[in-house]
Amino acid sequence: MVFYPVDRPVRVYADGIFDLFHSGHARALMQAKTLFPNSYLLVGVCSDDLTHKFKGFTVMNEAERYEALRHCRYVDEVIRDAPWTLTPEFLEKHKIDFVAHDDIPYSSAGSDDVYKHIKEAGMFVPTQRTEGISTSDIITRIVRDYDVYARRNLQRGYTAKELNVSFINEKKYRFQNQVDKMKEKVKNVEERSKEFVNRVEEKSHDLIQKWEEKSREFIGNFLELFGPDGAWKQMFQERSSRMLQALSPKQSPVKKEGFLSETPKVSEHPCGVGVPSPRAPQGHHLSVRCHVL
């Protein structure tokens, strides 16, 4: 069981090179910071001389690496020019309670694990590495795709001398950049052509759909007007009925008792002349004379 003081923050120390500071570094420091509810995280960063001697050349110099750590939100204090091996004097000077690092043994001159004595003292707390990301992985990507990055930086204005590129390779890279630009233009033209064709197809589809809708509407209106029960038939029937009524004579009025009909009856006289014979009132006799010419 590990005991730690409760009257002050627990002072946790984490060290490293931190070249090309990345998310794997930040996650390790986050674990170190959150080991205890109340902690103070000190981060030791080795100098260029010490790093080049024991590990190899770095991409970032020590000042850049110090500055990168200073802007990490989990870090409370950056210790510059940190020792490669932690001594009791160093631990006492900075009042370090625990040391946080991944549990992979780190060999050095005269030792298979530079943290061995820290582990034996019960002051070591392991952290977990983040898979898929490390400084070595990033450098491997750059080396693998060297031509791509060299061409990229030439295009951004760096000189062949700054990139340590030969005259022939410089011309080759610049020519490849021109070819890539032409390919990009052709690609853009193809994409625009596809967009134009797609737009034409969409508009054609919409136009055809509108034509179909208008055709159905026209047919519906035509059937409504000229169909078997359409408005035109009804209108024609109404007009025909009116014309028949106008051409047909009215019926004779009905004869009523005590009244004369509108059309007087014609009686035949023995002399062959038809004269109207008005109806004589009762009790009177109407005499008719025949004049022979």
CA distance 5 to 38: 10
Instruction: Tell me how long the chain is.
Output: 293
Angle between helices 231-247 and 167-226 (to 10 degrees): 30
> CA–CA separation, 85 vs 158, rounded Å?
40
Residues of the chain with pLDDT under 70: 1-6, 109-110, 223-233, 236, 243-244, 246-293
Domain end residue (candidates: 111, 132, 153) = 132
Q: Are residues 49 and 75 in the same domain?
A: yes
Give bridge partners of residue 77 from the DSSP assignment.
42
Both 157 and 109 in one domain: the answer is no
Whether residue 243 lies inside any domain: the answer is no
Overall number of domains in the chain: 2
Residue 182, sorted as left (phi over 0), alpha (psi -120 to 50) or beta, turns out to be alpha
pLDDT in tens, 72-81: 999 999 999 9
| 59 and 149 assigned to the same domain | no
In terms of domains, do 122 and 162 share one? no
Q: What is the pLDDT of residue 231?
A: 64
Q: What is the pLDDT of residue 175?
A: 75
On whether both 105 and 122 belong to a single domain, the answer is yes
- Whether 241 is covered by a domain: the verdict is no
Bridge partner residues of 111 (DSSP): 108
| 65, 116: one domain | yes
For residue 150, which of 165, 134, 130 has the smallest C-alpha distance?
165
In a domain, 58, yes or no: yes
Domain boundary among 82, 108, 132: 132
Q: Do residue 47 and residue 14 come from a single domain? A: yes
User: What six digits make up the tokens of 64?
Assistant: 């850049």
Tell me, yes or no, whether 32 and 144 share the same domain.
no
pLDDT in the model for residue 179? 80
pLDDT given at position 257: 58
Say if residues 124 and 99 touch (Cβ distance below 8 Å): yes
Query: How many Å apart are CA 24 and CA 128, to the nearest integer?
Result: 9
What is the 3-state composition of the chain as percent helix, strand, coil, each rounded to the nearest 5? 45, 10, 40
What's the CATH code of the domain at 61? Answer: 3.40.50.620
What range defines the domain where residue 125 resides? 10-132
* pLDDT given for residue 120 in this prediction: 93
Q: Specify whether 15 is located in the same domain as 127.
A: yes
Same domain, 61 and 110: yes
Do 122 and 159 have their domain in common?
no
Contacts 24+ apart (CB under 8 A), 70-73: 72/21, 72/25, 72/26, 72/29, 72/43
Q: Is residue 280 domain-resident?
A: no
CB contact at 8 A, 42 and 89: no
pTM for this prediction: 0.58
